Amino acid sequence: MTSAERRQRQLAPVRHGLHVRAANGRQLRDRSVQRLVGKLRAVLPWLEPADLPTARSWCEVEVLARLVFAELRANGFITGPRQGSDTARR
């Protein structure tokens, strides 16, 4: 394995943002969730404190869905032609 391949494998989880191990990536994602929860509370002022864990979980799913969609748009849903047929990405 070349050093470029090793570096690519080490940084691949950081680049797509889904399974971020780096503290900075997690902090950015957590701040996105916090901002979205703040916007949600501003739009829905009747939410009780007991509703906040559910709202936070929904916001986490929303942020992850955005990251997944951005990754799929950037890299496509299927790979290029391989032996005469397109295959779904794994």
When comparing pLDDT for 46 and 14, which is higher? 46
Instruction: Give the list of residues 6+ apart from residue 57 with CB closer than 8 angstroms, or none.
Output: none
- pLDDT tens digit string along 22-33? 667 677 788 889
Q: Which of 32, 30, 25 is nearest to 11 (CA)?
A: 25
Percentage of the chain surpassing pLDDT 70? 64
DSSP single-letter state for residue 82: B
Residue type, 54: T
- pLDDT at position 48 is 93
Nearest to 40 by CA among 22, 61, 24: 61
The CA distances from residue 75 to 47, 65, 88, in Å, are 38, 15, 12
What pLDDT score does 78 carry?
64
- Angle between helix 52-75 and 23-43 (nearest 10): 120
Boundaries of every domain in the chain: 3-67
- 26-84 pLDDT per residue, tens: 777 888 899 999 999 999 999 999 999 999 999 999 999 998 888 888 877 765 655 55
Is 0.75 surpassed by the pTM of this model? no
